[in-house]
Structure 1
Amino acid sequence: MKLLRTAALAAITSLCATTVSQAQELRLLSSWDPSYAAVGNVLVPFMEKLESETTGDLSLDMVGPETIPPFEQLDPVSRGLFDMLYTNGAYHFNDIAVGMSLDAMTGNTEALREAGVWQAVDKHYQDMGLKLIAVLFDLNGYHIMLKEPVGDNALEGRRIRGTPIYHPVIEALGGSPVVLPGGEIYPSLERGVVDGAAWPTVGAVAFKWYEVADYLMRPTFGQVSHMVLMNLDTWNSLDEQTRSEIETAAASFELEANKLFDDLAAKERETLESEGMEVTELSQEMADKISEAWFKGALDLAASKNPEAIEEIRGLASEAGVGG
C-alpha cells in the first residue's frame, strides 16, 4: 500500500510539474492606454482569443505607455524585457521603418498575406529579434480635422498638425505640416497654433477635439495598422503546437478586427456629428492626389531608413495591386 501511495504521489507531482512547465505567462506592452478604443475594443478581445484558443496554459498580462513611452518600446521588447508589443510601425521608425509601410497598403491582411507583404514584414522584424504575430487593421484609415471647411484650393496656407508620415498628404493639399505630439493637439487647435490635425478616424472622441474643431475632411486616406509583435526568443520557446494555435487564432482575428474597427469608426463619426462636427469634402482632383501622395510618401519615408526592404515590399504591393 505504501508503495502504491508513493507511486501515486510521484505521478501527481510529475503531472503538476508538467503543468507548471507548460504554463506561459506573457507580458504585453501597449503603445496606448485604454482610453484609445483600439485597446479595450480590439486588443483585449484578441488577447482573450489567444488565451482561449491555445491548449497550453497561456496567460497574457498587459501594461501600457505609463511603463515605457510609446516611441521607446521596441528595444525593451526585442531584448526580452517584455514578451509582446502592440504598436504602430511609425512609432519606432528610427529602429526599423518596415512596419510603417503597412499603413500605405490597401486591402485587409488576407490580401497582404496572399501578396507576400505580411511575410516580408515579418522577415525583417525577425532580423530585429521580433516575430510578427498579427496586424489588426482599421481599414477606415486617417483623416484631417479642421477648424474651417476646405476651400477652393484645399488646405492652401493652413497649418496642419501631422507627424512626418502625414507630410506628403498635407503638402499635396497645399498645407504646411506642424509636428506636435498628440497631447498638444487640443490646446494648439484651441489657440489657433494649427488650423487642423491629422489623426486616425478612431480616437478623436476620447480627446474631445470636437470642442476645438468643427469639420471632418473627406475622403479618408490609408489604413491604420496595429501590429502585435512577440520577442523572437519567447516565440521560439513555445512548443510547436502552441505556435501553430497562435498563428491560426491570429489570422482569424485579423479579419474580425476589421469589423470591430468598422463599428468603432461608425460610432465615432456619429458621436462627432452629434457634437456639432460636419463633413467637408475635397474636390475629386484633390481626393485623387492624396491617395497617391499617401502611398508614395509613406513608402519613400520608410525607404529613407530601410531602402532594400521597402523596395521589396513596394514591388510585392504593386504586383498584387495592394498599394495605394
Structure 2
Amino acid sequence: MKLIKKLNLLTAACAFALSSAPALAQEVTIKAVSAWAEGNFFSQNFEKFVQKVNADGKGSIQINYVGGGAKVMPPFEVGNAVKSGVVDIANVTGNFYTNLLPESDALSVSTIPVQEWRKNGAYDYVNKLWGEKLNAHYLGRSIDNMPYHIFLKKPITKPDLAGMRLRGIPIYRDFFQSMGGNVLTIAPGEVYTALERGVIDGYGWPVSGIFDLNLQEHTKYRVEPGFYNTEVGVLMNLNTWKRLNEKQRAVLTNAAIWMENLNLENPKKWEDEKKRQTAAGIQAIVFSPAETAAYSKRATDAIWESINKRSPEHGPKLRQLLAR
C-alpha cells in the first residue's frame, strides 16, 4: 500500500514537472519580415539565413517568413515593428530606423569587417545600445562589403550636385547636401517612378541591386569611387530573444555567423556588377585624383560629424570600434 502511494506521488510529481516546463523547451515559431520584397537582392542572404535556421532548428525553433517590402509593411516602419514586437525578427538597414536610433548610421560606415566585431567588443557595444534604445538584439549582418554610389540621369564633371534633386536616405543626406544637392526621401519601390517622372535627377544606391527595380532604364551614369559600406542587419525583438532557451539562441547565432560569411566574396562580385551596368549603358564618372581624394574625405567627414552631433556620447566610441 505504501509502495503504491509512493508510486502515485512520484507519477504526480513527474506530471507537474512536465506541465510546468517552459513552453520554449518545445519547438517555437517566430515571425519574420524583410524591408525588401522576397527575392530582392537585399533579402536574399536573409532568406538563406531563414532556410538554414529552419533546417538546423527542427524540433527547436522555426521562422515563419511572411515576406517583405511595402506589401507587408512600409520599409521605414520595420524598425518600430521589431521594437514593439509586432514582428519577432526582421531584415532591415539601420538607415531605415535612424528616427529611433540615430547611432544606427554608424553601421553603414564601418570599415572593420563584421567578423572582427565579435572579437573587438563592437558587437557587444552595438547590442547594448540597440537593446537600450530599440528593444532589439542585433543578431547579424546580412549585407556587408558593399559601397554606395551616386547614380545619375545626366553627367557631372566635378563633385558638384548644385541644382540637382536626388533620392537619399539619412546616411548620405549630409554628404549630398554638402555638394549642393537637394535630397528627397523616397521609398525604394518608388524610385523608378520618381526617375521616370523627372521628380529626381539621380539617387544614392548600393553598387548592386538597381536591376531588381529596373532602375537601369533611367540611369546613365555612376559616380566613382563608391563610399560607405552598405549595412543590412537582422534584428530581433529583445523580449523574444530573452524568452528563447540556450539551444534556440545558438541555432540563430550560428546561422547569423554563417550568413555574415556569405559576404566575404562580395568585392569580387561588384566588378561583375559594374560590367553588367556598363552593358546596360551606364557610364562611370571618374574625377581627377585630387578631386577623388577630396570627395572621399567629404563623405567620411560628413557622416561622422552628423553621427557625433546626434550622439556625442556614443558616436566617438562607435567610430573607434567600427572604423579603422
TM-score by length of 2: 0.82
Contact 1:55 1:242 in 2 (8 A): no
What's the CA shift string for 1:102-155, capped at 9, x where partnerless?
A: 101113202333332222111111113211110123312100112233304554
Identity, % of aligned pairs? Answer: 26
What's the CA shift string for 1:261-290, capped at 9, x where partnerless?
A: 457644543332222112121222232233
What's the CA shift string for 1:168-220, capped at 9, x where partnerless?
A: 33245x34132141344334434444332111112211222222221111111
Distance 2:59 2:312 in 1: 40
Contact 2:31 2:87 in 1 (8 A): yes
2:27 matched residue in structure 1: 23
Distance 1:115 1:70 in 2: 31
Cα shift at 1:91: 0.6
One-letter code aligned to 1:243: R
Matched, 1:312 2:309: no
C-alpha RMSD of matched pairs (Å): 3.0
Change in Cα spacing, 1:116 to 1:137, as seen in structure 2 (3 Å) is farther
1:4 matched residue in structure 2: none
1:200 matched residue in structure 2: 206
2:6 matched residue in structure 1: none
1:93 matched residue in structure 2: 98
Matched, 1:68 2:73: yes
What's the CA shift string for 1:225-264, capped at 9, x where partnerless?
A: 11111111211121113323432332232122333x4576
SS of 1:160 mapped into structure 2? strand
1:246 matched residue in structure 2: 252
Cα shift at 1:305: 3.9
Distance 1:100 1:119 in 2: 17
Count of aligned pairs between the two proteins: 306
Change in Cα spacing, 1:214 to 1:125, as seen in structure 2 (3 Å) is same
SS of 1:82 mapped into structure 2? coil
Matched, 1:37 2:53: no
Matched, 1:151 2:157: yes
One-letter code aligned to 1:256: L
Contact 1:139 1:222 in 2 (8 A): no
1:235 matched residue in structure 2: 241
Change in Cα spacing, 1:274 to 1:95, as seen in structure 2 (3 Å) is same
Matched, 1:133 2:139: yes
Contact 1:147 1:212 in 2 (8 A): yes
Distance 1:265 1:296 in 2: 25
Change in Cα spacing, 1:19 to 1:202, as seen in structure 2 (3 Å) is same
Single out whichever of 232-241 and 82-91 deviates more from structure 2. Answer: 232-241
Contact 2:54 2:62 in 1 (8 A): yes
1:189 matched residue in structure 2: 195
Cα shift at 1:314: 2.2
Change in Cα spacing, 1:111 to 1:159, as seen in structure 2 (3 Å) is same
Contact 1:142 1:199 in 2 (8 A): yes
What's the CA shift string for 1:80-105, capped at 9, x where partnerless?
A: 22111110111111111222211011
Distance 1:56 1:19 in 2: 13
Change in Cα spacing, 1:157 to 1:80, as seen in structure 2 (3 Å) is closer
Distance 1:203 1:280 in 2: 19
Contact 2:46 2:259 in 1 (8 A): no
Distance 1:257 1:51 in 2: 21
Please, which runs of 5 or more residues in structure 2 have no aligned partner? 1-10
One-letter code aligned to 1:269: K
Single out whichever of 184-193 and 105-114 deviates more from structure 2. Answer: 184-193
Contact 1:164 1:179 in 2 (8 A): no
Matched, 1:272 2:277: yes
1:285 matched residue in structure 2: 290
1:3 matched residue in structure 2: none
Cα shift at 1:73: 2.1
Distance 2:274 2:199 in 1: 25
Please, which runs of 5 or more residues in structure 1 have no aligned partner? 1-6
Contact 1:144 1:197 in 2 (8 A): yes
